[in-house]
Amino acid sequence: MDMSRITHDPALMGGKPCIRGLRITVSTIVGLLASGESRQRILQAYPLLDDADIDQALSYAAWRLQATEESLLAS
């Protein structure tokens, strides 16, 4: 799974997963989508993003959720 656009830097946004080292977190993107914002609106609000960034944010969130569920089931 390609996650090359997702970065973790303890000095940036408290180490939260961000898009390409920008101050835009994965959770911000996923939260906007979950609240009904369109991709087009997100890209307008964050012009440094592109469609692939949104795709990877969703993939990352799904991967983390799966890992969490598997961890809970193993407990």
DSSP three-state, residue 19: strand
- For residues 26 and 60, the answer to whether their CB atoms sit within 8 Å is yes
- Nearest-angstrom CA–CA distance, 71 and 20: 27
**Each residue's pLDDT expressed in tens, for the chain with a length of 75 residues:** 789 999 999 999 999 999 999 999 999 999 999 999 999 999 999 999 999 999 999 999 999 988 777 777 787
pTM score: 0.88
- Nearest-angstrom CA–CA distance, 44 and 47: 5
- Nearest-angstrom CA–CA distance, 9 and 23: 10
Q: What domains sit in the chain, N to C, each tagged with a CATH number? A: 6-70 (1.10.10.10)
Task: Identify the pLDDT of residue 68.
Answer: 75
Closest CA to 7 of 28, 17, 54: 17
